[in-house]
Structure 1
């Protein structure tokens, strides 16, 4: 597994099975996944993701996962995604959206979202622009309160 020094991303990691990159756009973390997602990638990714949220200084933030190139996560990785989701909520992640087209990945993410108390029917999209608009709208509403 290697950490990539790609200048377009704040974080990039890949192994023989898949990869993840993410960057921060204002108060939204946008992650791009591809391949098969396993615990090796998610362990490092989850830690880096939560550490990155410190820059929001406790303010609400959003998350978008562009997983159109993901086939599935291993069963162990699915459990780890639930743990990461709970840590995201504890770190004040106000809204999240998931872009995916694989039926297996959608089913897995729906289970993960249900286990952390989120409604997967509202936040899973087939294209990125709708996911971005969804997150931006909800973040603006959170700041209006």
Structure 2
């Protein structure tokens, strides 16, 4: 797995990796406008590497607290872009109730398949197994 992008500020951090057909995003802390704007830009660039085939999104967000309202807007735009560019399934490793609610809200806004509860996992290995199963169908 090779790191494509990463960024950090005093409140939070993210890194983006591509593992075969799974785009893995590791996030932690609180994400505001500046960091989430950069994340959105980096995500779009990373998607260019994999968008020619169906791919999956994995949020390793066990350390994520939440996004600010501005940050949530950038995340919403990034989610829409992902769905428009061949992302067929997503999975989430997160425990923050607020972050789960925010992710669920974004998913519902764009009619993503399944409920957030069906896509929440305790660890990355289980989430990847779920995603790979869907990609093989």
How high is the TM-score relative to the length of structure 2?
0.90
Q: Which residue of structure 2 aligns with residue 132 of structure 1?
A: 128
SS in 1 for 2:99: helix
RMSD across aligned positions (CA): 1.4
Distance 1:52 1:44 in 2: 12
Conserved 8 A contact 2:94-2:120: yes
Q: Which residue of structure 2 aligns with residue 103 of structure 1?
A: 97
Conserved 8 A contact 1:97-1:123: yes
TM-aligned CA deviation for residue 126 of structure 1: 2.7
SS in 2 for 1:9: strand
2:82 to 78, 88, 95: 88
Q: Which has the larger radius of gyration?
A: 1
Asked whether 1:120 is paired with 2:116, we answer: yes
SS in 2 for 1:107: helix
Asked whether 1:34 is paired with 2:28, we answer: yes
Runs of 4+ aligned structure 1 residues displaced above 3 Å come to none
TM-aligned CA deviation for residue 56 of structure 1: 2.2
TM-aligned CA deviation for residue 57 of structure 1: 5.0
Unpaired runs of 5+ in structure 1?
Answer: 1-7
Distance 1:117 1:78 in 2: 17
SS in 1 for 2:56: strand
Corresponding residue pairs, total: 134
Distance 1:85 1:92 in 2: 11
SS in 1 for 2:3: coil
TM-aligned CA deviation for residue 62 of structure 1: 0.9
